[in-house]
Amino acid sequence: EAGVAQSPRYKIIEKRQSVAFWCNPISGHATLYWYQQILGQGPKLLIQFQNNGVVDDSQLPKDRFSAERLKGVDSTLKIQPAKLEDSAVYLCASSLGNEQYFGPGTRLTVT
Amino acid sequence: KQEVTQIPAALSVPEGENLVLNCSFTDSAIYNLQWFRQDPGKGLTSLLLIQSSQREQTSGRLNASLDKSSGRSTLYIAASQPGDSATYLCAVTGSNYQLIWGAGTKLIIKP
């Protein structure tokens, strides 16, 4: 069984630029999550999808972050414009029941 | 509101020692508890998952216990090796199947 795929693995951008991350969940997993993990902290949930609908985006900074899950499969997370404090690892996870499976993450550095 | 705490924040021990990492949570209404390993700048590797009805899980040199009534879990690592050096995170699954995370314990095993 293929795992959760994410790309790119690393990204370096300047502040005020835009960036997009892509996630392909495990086949058949209805629920998809995006997390932000700042160095030295646990992951913070940004958004949770159930199929192509949003379950929870209460911690998503909507003035600059957006996410979509068209057709209930792949998902993209976008930041526009980026700030220095957005430097973090962005993790995607998917689940069918109560266990989440994580991708390798995208490490974003904003300079 | 569920809160997860991990103590200690950092731990350094000589190779070969047995060690215990601690995780506590404030709300016993959980579906499960997971222990993860994270290497610097990398994604998350799930080590052990304990369902709410279980008391412990074992995998190789790792043993995790769960006491829901007291809101505690421990991760026991036997005969530690330098390759065990990483950050260990615990997370509980609560409502909406969302994970609530601790901040992690950074473990260093000295050769």
pLDDT tens string A1-50? 679 999 999 999 999 999 999 999 999 999 999 999 998 888 999 999 99
At A96 the pLDDT is 86
Q: Which residue in chain B is spatially nearest to A47 when comparing CA positions?
A: B98
Q: What is the tens place of the pLDDT at every residue in B24-64?
A: 999 999 999 999 999 887 778 889 999 999 999 999 999 99
Interface of B with A (CB under 8 A): 4, 31-32, 34, 36, 41-44, 46, 49, 89, 91, 93, 96-99, 101-104
Among the partner residues B42, B99, B102, nearest to A104 by beta-carbon distance: B42
Residues in chain B within 8 Å Cβ distance of A95: 97
Kind plus residue range of the DSSP H or E element containing A26: none
> Do the chains contact at B44 and A40, CB–CB below 8 Å?
no
B36 to chain A, minimum CA–CA distance in Å? 10
B43 to chain A, minimum CA–CA distance in Å? 4
Place of tokens 């699954």: B93
Query: What gap in Å lies between CA B75 and CA B88, rounded to an integer?
Result: 9
Q: How many residues in total does chain A contain?
A: 111
- Is residue A75 within 8 Å of residue A68, measured between CB atoms? yes
Q: Which amino acid is at B16?
A: G
Pairing of strands A19-24, A65-68: unpaired
